[in-house]
Amino acid sequence: MRISNATKLCVAGLALVLGSSAWAGVQVHFDKPDNYSDVPFSTRDRDQVLAGLADHFAWLGKSLRPGQELKIEVTDVDLAGREDPSRRGAFDVRVMNGRADWPRMRLRYSLEQNGKVIASGNAYLSDMSYMQRVNRYSSNDSLRYEKQMIDDWFKNTFGVRPNGRSSPTMTLQQREVQRR
CA distance 106 to 143: 16
CA distance 137 to 148: 8
Tell me what pLDDT residue 81 has. Answer: 73
CA distance 84 to 175: 12
DSSP string, 115-158: TEEEEEEEEEEE-TTTTTS--SS-TT-TTHHHHHHHHHHHHHHH
Question: pLDDT digits over 35-69, tens only?
Answer: 988 887 778 888 999 999 999 999 999 999 999 99
Residue 169 pLDDT more than 80? Answer: no
Question: pLDDT digits over 87-141, tens only?
Answer: 555 555 555 555 667 899 999 999 999 889 999 999 999 988 877 888 888 888 8
Of 80 and 5, the one with more pLDDT: 80
**φ and ψ at 82, to 5 degrees?**
-135, 140
Tell me what pLDDT residue 51 has. Answer: 94
Tell me what pLDDT residue 162 has. Answer: 75
